[in-house]
Structure 1
Amino acid sequence: MANFIPFKGLRYNNEKISDLSNVTTPPYDIISPSAQEEYYNTHPNNVIRLELSKELEGDNETNNKYTRAASTLESWLKDQTLVFESEPALYLYEQIFTLKNGVTKSFKGFIGLVELEEFSKGIVLPHEETLSKAKTDRFNLMSTTYSNFSQIFSLYLDPERKIGAIIDDISKAAPDITFTSTENIIQNLWIITESSVINEVRGILKDKQLFIADGHHRYETALNFRNKLREENPDYSQDDLFNYVMMMLVDMDDPGLVVFPTHRLIKDIAGFDENSLAEKLQEDFHVEKIMAEPSQNHLSEVIEQELTKRNKDKVFALYTGENYYYLLTLKNSDIMSKMLPDQSLAYRNLDVSVLHTVILEKILGIDKENMANQKNLTYTRNPLEAIEWIKNGSFQCSFLLNATKVFEIKDVSLANEKMPQKSTYFYPKLVTGLVMNKFR
C-alpha cells in the first residue's frame, strides 16, 4: 500500500555548520512570535528563515515572507550552506528525552518520501480535523520554495517487529549526526544508503497503512499542491518528486511514544456563572468540588495527578480561578450514543469527544463552527497556563483532561473519522532542519 522511497536529503553542510542545535527548530505551528525572534537571533542560517520567515511592514504579493524564504533557500544552496546527499538515502532518526517525572524515553523511525494518496484510498489515514488558515500558509510557502522543511510524523503497525529488528541492527553503530536540542533532547541521525537495507524496509512497509500522528495540515497541503502541479503539467511522470512528501515513520507500539493532552480555555461567554455551570454539569457528571491545600504551590500538578489516577473514567477538571477545582466524571456513556448516533464507538469513547459534545456544545453553547474559529475557545498544552490564565482573568474557566491514547488514534482512523482539532500532542516534536526535501 504505502510507497516509501529514499531521496537525496537536503542537509546543513557540516563543514560550515558544526552545531545543528543553533540552526534547527521545532515545527512551525508551535513557534510563538517571541520564539521566532529568538531563533532569528541564534544564528544567521537558522532554518526559521525558511520554515517561518518574519512578516515585515510593506509586504506585498511580490515581496513577502514566502518570497524571502525562497530567496534565502537559493542563497544557502548557492553558497553551500545547504547541500544535497550524494545519493538517495533513508534516514534513521532517534530522539532521546526525559519527562518531568524523571523517566527517560526514546523512539526511532525512518525518514523518507511517501507517495501522496487521497485519504479515501485508505493508505494514509488522518485522525484530526484541520484549519484552512494553516493550510493556506503552508501552500504559499510550498509555492515559492518547492520544499518540505519538516517531516510529517506517521505511525504504522509492525506486530512482528520486522522493521524494529532492522532499526536495532542499524543503531548498533554510532549515529552519523548527533546533537542536543532545546529541552535537552538528544537528536541522532543515521544515513542509510545501502540498497539492500532500503529495499528491505520498503518491502515491509508496502503492505502497511500509515496513520498521521502530526502534520495533517502539511499532508493536505502537499496533496493540494501536487494536484496543482499535475494540472499545470499534464505530461507529468509518476516519478516526479512533487508526487511525494517527506515523512517520519514510527512503529505504533514503540514504547517511547508519548502523547500529551491539550487543555481547553473558555472566554467571552455571555452571562457566565460558575454556580450555574456546576449545576448544569450535574445532569451528566458526578461533580466533586475539591479544595486546594495551602501547601500546594502548583495546583496544575495536583490536578494532573488526580486525572491520571482516574484515567479509566471519562473525567475532567474544571477550574474557575478560585482556591478549588471541580472534578467531573461522566455518569453514563449512553449519552454519547444519543448525542452522536452517527459516529463510531471509537469516536464517542474519546475523552475530547465527551468534553466537546456534552460540555462545550450542550452546556456552554460553543458549536463546531465556533470551535473551529476559536471564538470562545483557546488551547494550551501547558497545564500551568490552564490555571494561571484563569487566575489573571484572561479566561473565564478551563477544562483539563487526560491525553488521547495511541490506540484510540488508530481506532478512529480505521473508522474513517477525524478527531476534533487539538486532540493529540505528540512529544517531543520532530526537529525542523535536520533533513529537508527539495522536490524542484
Structure 2
Amino acid sequence: MPEIQPFRGVRYDIARVGAMSDVVAPPYDVIDATLQERLYQASPQNIVRLELNREEPGDNDTQNRYTRAARFLREWNRDGILRHDDHPALYVYHQTFEIEGQTHTRKGFLARVRLEAFGQGKIYPHEQTLSGPKADRLALFNATKYNLSPIFGLYPDAEAEVLRAAEAGIRDRTPLEATDHLGVQNQLWPVLDPQVHTLVQGLMAAKPIFIADGHHRYETGVKFRDDLAAAGELTGPNDPANFCMMMLVGMSDPGLLILPTHRLVSGFPGLTAEALAERLAPEFDVRVAGEGEAGCRAAWEEIAMGGDQDVLAFGTRADGRWLIAQLRSDATMDTLAPEHSAEWRSLGVSILHELVLKALLKPAEPAPCRYVHLLEEVTADLNAGGCDLACLVPPAGMEHVESIASNLEKMPPKSTYFYPKLLSGLVLNPLR
C-alpha cells in the first residue's frame, strides 16, 4: 500500500527574498516564453531559474540550462536563501481561486510518497506520457537531485478524515502565503506534531493514490531511483530517492475541480455547419445551438447542465454557427476501440477523437489540434481564424479518473485539467 512520510523540506528564507509571491512559479509545462521572462524579472531568486532555466547562446553538453539550475541551487543553499527545515513535517496546502464568478478553496497536504512502478502497487496513472518531457525532467533530476515541484495525487476519503487529521496540526497558526500570476491565493502550514504524522500515515495506509498531474515527473522519479539502484548508490529503503514529493487531495474535496479541455482543430478549411451536420448524422442527433459567442455559450451551458459525456458541441469558422451533437448509440465506439474498456469508450474526448475526428471527418492526415480551457479562448480563436473547427468537450469526472486508472488504462491526452496548478517553490524535496 502507498507509504507516506513527513520530510525536512527545503524552503525560502523570507527574510532573504522578501515576498513569497515573487519567488514562486507554476510547473514547467505551463510556462511559456512570456511568463518565463516575467518570472525572471520578478526576483533574482525566482524558482523558475531551477524549474525552467532559460536556454542561452553557446549552451553545450557541459554548460546548459540544467547545469545553471544546479549552480543556482548550490549557491542559494550556500548563501542561506534556501534553508532545510529543522524537523520533519507534513505541509498543509490550501489554494483559493475564482472560476466563473465563484470562489473555491482546494485543500490538501504535501508529503513524501514511496515510489512504485505503475501496475506494481496502489499508485495509478490516468494519462499517457511522452518521452520528450521525461528526458527533460530526468536531465534536471540528475543535475539538481531535487524534487522542485510537487506531483498532484488524489485519494478516496468521502468523510475527509485525513484532511481533518492533518489540519489539527495547524490550529491558530499563521500560514506562509503567496499569490501566483493568475491571482490564486496559496497558503502553506508546516505540521510538526509526530502524533499527527502517525495518525495521517495510518489513515492513508490502505488508500490508493491516483496521479492527477505530474505523470512525467513521477515516472522520471522512478527512473532516477532505478538508475541509482543499478549504480549501487541507494543507501537503503529510506534513501530519499525512493520517494517523491506529492500533494495529496481527497477526491471528495469541495475545491477539487476538473475543467474541460476544448479542442481547436485545423485541417478542415471551408467546413460549414451544414456540411458538418451531414457528416455527423449517421451517429449523432444534431441541432443548431446558435451563432457566434452567444451560440458557443448556449451550447456549453447545455453540455454543462446535462453532465453527460455523449454530448459534444462544434463551432465552424466558415459560417460562425454552433451545433450540439448527441451520440445515439455506443455500438460504433465499441467497434472502433475494442481494446479499451466501456468507461474509456464513453469519455467525451474518446468519442471526439476516435469517432468524430478520425472516423466521420476522415482527414487525409491527422488534424492539428490545440487545447484551451475557457470559452473566451475558443471564441477568440474562431474570430481570429486560428482554427477551422472548435470542439467543446465535457470534463471527465472523478469517477472516470478512478475507474479507468484502477483498470490500469490511461485516458486520452488532455482528458483532465485540474485547476489551479500547484506552485513550485513553496517546498523543495532533496533526493540525495
TM over 0.5: same fold? yes
Contact 2:312/2:391 (<8 A) preserved: yes
Which residue number in structure 1 is paired with residue 52 of structure 2? 52
Contact 2:53/2:68 (<8 A) preserved: yes
Contact 1:10/1:437 (<8 A) preserved: yes
Q: How far apart in 2 are the matches of 1:194 and 1:394?
A: 54
Using the TM superposition, name which of 148-157 and 307-316 deviates more. 307-316
2:399 to 404, 407, 419: 407
Which residue number in structure 2 is paired with residue 336 of structure 1? 333
Identity %: 36
Which residue number in structure 1 is paired with residue 226 of structure 2? 227
Would you say 1:32 and 2:24 are equivalent positions? Answer: no
Q: Give the 3-state SS of the residue equivalent to 2:264 in structure 1.
A: strand
1:307-346 correspondence runs (5 A): 307-312=303-308, 314-321=310-317, 322-346=319-343
Q: Give the 3-state SS of the residue equivalent to 1:16 in structure 2.
A: helix
Contact 2:153/2:212 (<8 A) preserved: yes
Would you say 1:398 and 2:398 are equivalent positions? Answer: no
- Letter of the 2:339 partner, please give it: D
- Letter of the 1:358 partner, please give it: L
Q: How far apart in 2 are the matches of 1:103 and 1:382?
A: 15
Contact 1:300/1:384 (<8 A) preserved: no
Q: Give the 3-state SS of the residue equivalent to 1:120 in structure 2.
A: coil
- Letter of the 1:242 partner, please give it: A
1:25-424 correspondence runs (5 A): 25-100=25-100, 102-233=101-232, 236-269=235-268, 275-292=274-291, 300-312=296-308, 314-321=310-317, 322-365=319-362, 376-424=368-416
- Displacement of 1:84 in angstroms is 0.8
- Displacement of 1:365 in angstroms is 3.9
- Residues 173, 248 of structure 1: CA spacing in aligned structure 2 closer, same or farther, 3 A cutoff? same
- Letter of the 2:360 partner, please give it: I
Q: How far apart in 2 are the matches of 1:63 and 1:202?
A: 42
- Deviation readout 1:156-188 (Å, 9 max, x if unpaired): 112343213314433432333123333332211
- Residues 172, 299 of structure 1: CA spacing in aligned structure 2 closer, same or farther, 3 A cutoff? farther
Q: Which runs of 5+ in 2 are unaligned?
A: none
- Letter of the 1:49 partner, please give it: R
- Letter of the 2:399 partner, please give it: F
Q: How far apart in 2 are the matches of 1:49 and 1:364?
A: 44
Q: TM-score, normalising length from structure 1?
A: 0.93
Q: Give the 3-state SS of the residue equivalent to 1:204 in structure 2.
A: helix
- Displacement of 1:289 in angstroms is 2.4
- Letter of the 2:90 partner, please give it: L
1:423-434 correspondence runs (5 A): 423-434=415-426
Contact 1:264/1:380 (<8 A) preserved: yes
Q: Aligned-pair RMSD on alpha carbons?
A: 2.1
- Deviation readout 1:32-56 (Å, 9 max, x if unpaired): 1111111111111111100011111
Contact 1:313/1:330 (<8 A) preserved: no
- Displacement of 1:335 in angstroms is 2.4
- Letter of the 2:17 partner, please give it: I
Q: How far apart in 1 are the matches of 2:280 and 2:191?
A: 55
- Letter of the 1:226 partner, please give it: R
- Displacement of 1:304 in angstroms is 2.6
- Letter of the 2:311 partner, please give it: V
Contact 1:7/1:88 (<8 A) preserved: yes
- Deviation readout 1:95-127 (Å, 9 max, x if unpaired): 112222x22211211101111101112311000
Q: How far apart in 1 are the matches of 2:233 and 2:49?
A: 33
Which residue number in structure 1 is paired with residue 22 of structure 2? 22
Contact 2:170/2:190 (<8 A) preserved: no
Q: Give the 3-state SS of the residue equivalent to 1:15 in structure 2.
A: helix
- Residues 332, 150 of structure 1: CA spacing in aligned structure 2 closer, same or farther, 3 A cutoff? same
- Displacement of 1:271 in angstroms is 8.5
- Residues 331, 8 of structure 1: CA spacing in aligned structure 2 closer, same or farther, 3 A cutoff? same
Q: Give the 3-state SS of the residue equivalent to 1:329 in structure 2.
A: strand
Q: How far apart in 1 are the matches of 2:170 and 2:356?
A: 47
Q: Give the 3-state SS of the residue equivalent to 1:421 in structure 2.
A: coil
Q: How far apart in 2 are the matches of 1:51 and 1:405?
A: 30
- Residues 201, 307 of structure 1: CA spacing in aligned structure 2 closer, same or farther, 3 A cutoff? same
- Letter of the 1:414 partner, please give it: S
- Letter of the 1:419 partner, please give it: M
Q: How far apart in 2 are the matches of 1:90 and 1:61?
A: 38
Contact 1:73/1:145 (<8 A) preserved: yes
Q: How far apart in 2 are the matches of 1:161 and 1:325?
A: 41
Contact 1:313/1:329 (<8 A) preserved: no
- Letter of the 2:392 partner, please give it: L
- Residues 366, 403 of structure 1: CA spacing in aligned structure 2 closer, same or farther, 3 A cutoff? farther
Q: How far apart in 2 are the matches of 1:79 and 1:313?
A: 53
- Displacement of 1:300 in angstroms is 4.5
- Letter of the 1:355 partner, please give it: L
- Residues 413, 12 of structure 1: CA spacing in aligned structure 2 closer, same or farther, 3 A cutoff? same
- Letter of the 2:207 partner, please give it: K
- Residues 149, 307 of structure 1: CA spacing in aligned structure 2 closer, same or farther, 3 A cutoff? same
Using the TM superposition, name which of 156-165 and 420-429 deviates more. 156-165
Contact 2:91/2:189 (<8 A) preserved: yes
- Residues 366, 352 of structure 1: CA spacing in aligned structure 2 closer, same or farther, 3 A cutoff? farther
- Letter of the 1:354 partner, please give it: I
Q: Give the 3-state SS of the residue equivalent to 2:263 in structure 1.
A: strand
Q: Which runs of 5+ in 1 are unaligned?
A: none
